[in-house]
């Protein structure tokens, strides 16, 4: 009889132990895709060109909210239909990387960028910085809102750089 009572107590205790597990699951990474609109500003030019930017990327978390990621995209701008492929490597910090459904995860990032013109010319190194927010509408899917500035450092003649500022909307998944 004692054995039956001990077995029954064990069977009833197992679900209690399982529910005591940490519900705040720490995800190790996330992916995203986006569409962005923005502008290009050039020194000495009063014209602002509209940028259309489409791309995707991913991030892996190294420690708490710190992560590293890569991104690839295609950008089209200006009245002359300039086009380029853009690749970036970024470091980021997510303030609430394990935000639950209905939660908000603000983030900031900074990184290096490479421009590769689709028509002619050579690629150019640049940098980027920005920030945004993931609004988790499902456990593993979020609305991504972001602003990013790709900064071309300029040229050897002393001309200041060009800024490609875009406002993005997309989806994040984990």
Partners of 89 in the β-ladder: 70, 112
CA distance 112 to 70: 10
Distance, CA of 33 to CA of 134 (rounded, Å): 12
Position 82 scores a pLDDT of 73
Full 3-state SS string of the chain: CHHHHHHHHHHHHHHHHHHCCCCCCCCCEEEEEEEEEEEEECCCCCCCEEEEEEEEEEEEEEECCEEEEEEEEEEEECCCCEEEEEEEEEEEEECCCCCCCCCEEEEEEEEEEEEEECCCCCCEEEEEEEEEEEEECCCCEEEEEEEEEEECCCCCCCCCCCEEEEEEEEEEEC
The whole-angstrom distance between residue 121's C-alpha and the CA centroid of its chain comes to 28
- Tell me the two tokens of residue 118: 């689709």
What confidence score (pLDDT) does residue 18 get? 47
**Per-residue confidence (pLDDT) for residue 80, from 0 to 100:** 61
Q: What local confidence, expressed as pLDDT, does residue 91 receive?
A: 96
Give residue-wise pLDDT tens across range 112-136: 998 887 776 677 788 999 999 999 9
Q: Degrees (nearest 5) of the Cα angle 77, 79, 85?
A: 25
Q: What is the pLDDT of residue 174?
A: 87
What pLDDT is recorded for position 105?
A: 92
Q: Phi then psi for 95, rounded to 5 degrees?
A: -75, -30
Residues of the chain short of pLDDT 50, as ranges, are 17-22
pLDDT at 167: 95
- State if pTM tops 0.75: yes
Write down the CATH number for the domain with range 27-173: 2.40.160.20
Which residues are bridge partners to 108 per DSSP? 93, 131
Supply 72's token pair: 């690839």
């Amino acid at each position: 009889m004692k054995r039956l009572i001990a077995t029954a107590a064990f069977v009833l205790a197992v679900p209690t132990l399982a529910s005591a597990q940490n519900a705040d699951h720490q995800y190790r990474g996330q992916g995203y895709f986006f569409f962005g609109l923005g502008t290009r500003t050039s020194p000495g030019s009063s014209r602002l060109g509209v940028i259309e930017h489409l791309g995707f990327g991913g991030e892996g978390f190294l420690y708490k909210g710190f992560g590293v990621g890569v991104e690839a995209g295609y950008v089209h701008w200006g009245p002359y239909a300039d086009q380029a492929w853009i690749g970036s490597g970024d470091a980021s910090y997510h303030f609430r990387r394990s935000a639950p459904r209905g939660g908000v995860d603000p983030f900031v990032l900074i990184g290096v960028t490479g421009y590769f013109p689709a028509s002619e010319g050579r690629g150019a190194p640049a940098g980027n910085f920005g920030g945004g927010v993931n609004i988790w509408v499902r456990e593993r899917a979020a609305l991504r809102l972001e602003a990013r500035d790709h900064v071309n450092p300029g040229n050897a003649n002393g001309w200041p750089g060009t800024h490609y500022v875009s406002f993005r909307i997309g989806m994040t998944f984990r």
